[in-house]
Amino acid sequence: MPVPPPRTDAPAPPPGTRVRLDQGARRFGALLVGGAPARAVRLGPGGLALLADGGFELDGSPARAALAEQLVGAGLAAYDTEASDRTVPTEGPEPVDDVLVVVPAYERAAGVERLLDALGAAAPVLVVDDASPDPSALRAAAARHDAEVLRLPTNLGPAGARNAGLAEARRRGAAFVLFVDSDVVVGPDALARLRRCFLDPRLALAAPRIGPLEEAGSALARYEAVASSLDRGPRSATVAPGAPVAYVPSAVLLARVEALGDGFDETLPVGEDVDLVWRLHAAGWRVRYDAGASARHDHRVRLRDWAGRRADYGRSAGALADRHGDLVAPAVLAPLGVLEVGALLWQRPAGAVLAGAGAVEIARRLAARLGGDADARRAAVTLVALAGWMNVEQLAAALLRHHWPLTVLGLATSRRVRRLVAVAAAVDTLAAWARQQPDLDPATYALLRRLDDLSYGYGVWRGAVATRSGAALLPAWRKA
């Protein structure tokens, strides 16, 4: 399903718009490293001066506009949604008169009512009734909030219902559409903030951080409060395949109507959001995750439902691999990764020495490519160290998550595999614990994390069988 490329004549952000460095960008003197995918940009004296305090304002000059587009396009910076010098009001909910809110719903009248209560009169709302058996409750909830209802004659699923809403937004001439699922709560402040992201003329989608409706409750509810697949983390970021934030969920998405083409792929029961994000990226559009905008989701916290949903997410990998190749690969290997993984599997001192020597050589070559000066050497050492940790995380995920059926076979036959799995589980659990800081005792958290891995990995293998392809289980290879 193709999407149109961005317009070449789209108006640039107005003077006064502030450009700020991305939270994931790292400075090494004149070198700026980060982005999606990762890259390095060497700044000249003018760029260094402009970015001395982490950002600069557009003033109408071509030089600043060009630098802004270079940095934003590389994922190293973003147009600031919080800058004080804006052309829109800064206090209270901002008027959003070019957005149609589309709520796909199959029954769930109580959830729709809760959402409409939170949104208030921020924007017109269209509830797409996906052929609910009894439409009366949805109609009544919508009527109490002056929302319209579009009833579909047959059930199309969430992707089809969103597409029906998209078609209606296009018919009405709305410039933007906010897709919000009926089990989500989002308010006018988040909508206004997401709308400001579209100062970027090449931005197709913007998504908020999604937290839980309730953080307390059962152990599973407390686990899901910090480990939900819908929560893309505390840092705002450019979204792209292979980046730290590789996709954003369709539970809440603000989209530029002209960018979407035919919208979501209705043949995908799960993963249609990942597919759309990656198609937009391939067409030249940008996607933004704004962690400063927040929404809340009614998480599934019954064990059977929760595990089934995790398996569904894993199952989507097979269909996504058919469409997007190795972008869905569970690991990305480069020469350093091969050396490190080999050393970990070998479990001999010679392997560690070989991997260390390889890391030194790769850092030396990378420093030369980056310019060969002190800044380049510091950047190279940091990047190689980060890549090394990523390789450890990838190996742990392969053993415990994506390829656990093979791991089980290894556990039964090899002491070396048992030793490696024990270390991988400990390292993975401790790293995730430190990152997520759950309100759980360590044993319970470790158990739920392993159940999470088992459920997702089961889904990946099930999807591979369904598509008759192991592409979603194979690593991708990169030269550097």
pLDDT tens digit sequence for 102-123: 999 999 999 999 999 999 999 9
Q: State how far the alpha carbon of 434 is from the alpha carbons of 117, 218, 429, 431, 454, in Å.
A: 36, 21, 9, 5, 21
- 230 and 119 both lie in a single domain: yes
Average pLDDT over residues 26-33: 91
Pairing of strands 55-57, 18-21: antiparallel
pLDDT band at residue 379, thresholds of 50, 70 and 90?
very high
322 lies in a domain?
no
Do 163 and 40 share a structural domain? no
Is the pLDDT at 89 greater than 80? The verdict is no
Q: Say what the pLDDT of residue 88 is.
A: 41
Claim to verify: residue 75 and residue 192 sit in the same structural domain:
no
pLDDT class of 354 with cuts at 50, 70, 90: confident
Q: Which of 301, 322, 342 is the last residue of a domain?
A: 301
pTM above 0.85, yes or no: yes
Annotate 176-219 with DSSP letters as a single string.
Answer: EEEEE-TTEEE-HHHHHHHHHGGGSTTEEEEEEEEEES-S-SSH
- Looking at every residue in the chain, the average pLDDT score rounds to 91
Return the pLDDT at 388.
84
The predicted model gives 268-288 an average pLDDT of 96
The proportion of the chain whose per-residue pLDDT surpasses 90, expressed as a percent, equals 75
- The pLDDT value recorded for residue 84 is 39
Mean pLDDT of 55-74: 92
Q: Which of 289, 97, 250 is nearest to 188 (CA)?
A: 97
Residues 26, 35 contacting (CB under 8 angstroms): no
Cα 339 from Cα 388, distance rounded (Å)? 10
Paired with 286 in beta bridges are 203
Alpha carbon distance 413, 416 (integer Å): 9
Among 80-89, 102-111, 280-289, 314-323, the range scoring the smallest mean pLDDT is: 80-89
Mark whether 171 and 259 lie in a shared domain.
Answer: yes
What pLDDT band is residue 337 in, cutting at 50, 70 and 90?
Answer: confident
Query: Closest Cα partner for 93 from 187, 174, 172, 224?
Result: 187
State the CB neighbour count (10 A cutoff) for residue 120.
Answer: 11
* Residue 381 and residue 240 share a domain: no
Domain boundaries, position 58 = 18-79
Tell me, what's the pLDDT at 91? 44
Phi, psi of 207 (to 5 degrees): -135, 145
**pLDDT tens for residues 167-210?**
999 999 999 999 999 999 999 999 999 999 999 999 999 999 99
Whether residue 82 has pLDDT greater than 80: no
Return the higher-pLDDT residue of 346 and 391.
391
**What is the reported pLDDT for 263?**
96
Instruction: Tell me: do 213 and 340 sit in the same domain.
Output: no
Residue 2 lies in a domain: no
CATH code assigned at 220: 3.90.550.10
- Report the domain count for the chain: 3
For residues 61 and 171, state if they share a domain: no
Other Cβ atoms less than 10 A from the Cβ of 50: the count is 19
Shared domain check, 432 and 381:
yes
pLDDT digits (tens, 9 = 90+) for 305-332: 999 999 999 999 999 999 999 999 998 8
pLDDT (0 to 100) of residue 271: 95
Q: Which of 279, 301, 323 lies at the terminal end of a domain, its last residue? A: 301
Residue 462 in domain: yes
- For residues 302 and 351, which has the higher predicted lDDT (pLDDT)? 302
Given 29, 48, 79, which residue is the final one in a domain?
79
Whole-number Å distance between alpha carbons of 151 and 161? 9
Is residue 92 over pLDDT 50? no
Is residue 90 one of the residues assigned to a domain? no
Write the burial class of residue 134 (CB in 10 Å: 0-12 exposed, 13-18 middle, 19+ buried).
Answer: exposed
Q: Are residues 60 and 106 in the same domain?
A: no
User: Average of pLDDT values for 279-298?
Assistant: 96
CA 444 to CA 227: how far, in whole Å?
14
**Residue 389 pLDDT class (50, 70, 90 cuts):** confident
For the segment 257-263, the average pLDDT, to the nearest whole number, is 96
pLDDT above 80 for 365: yes
pLDDT at residue 277, rounded to an integer: 98
Output the pLDDT for position 246. Answer: 95
The pLDDT of residue 94 is: 57
Residue 292 has pLDDT above 60, yes or no: yes
| Residue 249 and residue 343 in one domain | no
* Dihedral over alpha carbons 223, 228, 229, 232 (to 10 degrees): -120
Q: What is the pLDDT of residue 9?
A: 85
> What does the pLDDT read at residue 39?
82
Residue 315 lies inside a defined structural domain of this protein: no
Tokens 């270390």, located at residue:
423
Q: Which parts of 328-478 are beta strand (E)? A: 332-333, 476-477
Give the per-residue pLDDT at 477. Answer: 84
Name beta bridge partners: 176. Answer: 99, 256
Confidence (pLDDT) at 320: 96
